[in-house]
Amino acid sequence: MLNNEFIINQVCQALAEDMGAGDLTAVLVPGDACLSASVVTRESIIVCGTAWFEACFRQLCPSIRIDWHIADGQSASAGQILCGVRGAARPLLTAERTALNFLQTLSAVATRTRQFVAAIQGTAASIVDTRKTIPGLRIAQKYAVRCGGGINHRIGLFDGILIKENHIIAAGGIENILHKAAEIAPANVLVQIEVETLDELQQALRAGASMVLLDNFSVADLCEAVKLNQQFAGQPAVLEASGNITLDNVRLVAETGVDRISVGSLTKHIQAVDLSMRFEDV
């Protein structure tokens, strides 16, 4: 569920960043002027960010009317009108760029995620995001990943344990740190450990790992990791492939039998989708 208060706070910060002491250009427009506008996409996208878009305008003028023709998570074709906007000209012009920034950025994340999800359709794997997000936009971007059909990993450092190489070195080895994690982790917190070799995977499995991140494994090694996991005497761990995952190779990775594939580029290497807001006199 989206937290409306969180969205409003985020939007207010973005508007303040853009407006400062006030919009010097908007005051050139008569105070009683009204405008209507349509938001159009110039490319095929998965829409995301409608709540942020609306909040940008409503923080400046609550009476502005926005009529959506599409909802978050739905696909739109090039040339399609996403929504109509109508109201006082000054707040419409002032909020336009900030509103589009949210909508373009979050739709880009949702669109990219959907491409990865489509690429592995029919396999048992899921596409998972990471903490490689734009500062200040993590919650919004992770929402966009869900709109695109992906799954969220931990939100931050506070709601999950991911043991990486440096943690293992500092704690004295895989077995030691997994036992420590088992002692301190609440029941609802997932504990995951990153391994870089098949030998480290076997160490993690023997130490009771329930979720293992296979970092930069080759496709051949991923297949071997899945086999080792299935043959292990205890409860099989959830296996997640990570590192240099692209649209070109994600299908091969999924077909190895891993459970999850984490893709940092979903939220890190994004290019805003191409939207335009066309104004008309009322």
Residue 136, SS3 per DSSP: coil
Containing 170, the helix (H) or strand (E) segment is helix 165-171
Q: What angle do CA 86, 88, 90 make, to 5 degrees?
A: 120
> 141: Cβ–Cβ under 8 A, 6 or more apart, which residues?
105, 106, 109, 129, 133, 134, 267
Contact 267, 130 (CB under 8 A): yes
In 57-178, the DSSP E strands lie at: 65-68, 75-76, 81-88, 126-128, 161-163
Q: How far is CA 228 from the centre of its chain?
A: 31
| CB burial readout 67-82, b (16+ within 10 A) else e | ebebebbeebeeebeb
Residue numbers annotated as active site = 97, 132, 164, 194, 215
Q: What's the CA gap between 245 and 267, in Å, rounded?
A: 13
**Does residue 224 contact residue 198 with C-beta atoms inside 8 Å?**
yes
Q: At 262, give phi and psi (nearest 5°).
A: -95, 135
How far is 86 from 71, CA to CA, in rounded Å? 19
Q: Are 272 and 138 in contact (CB under 8 A)?
A: no
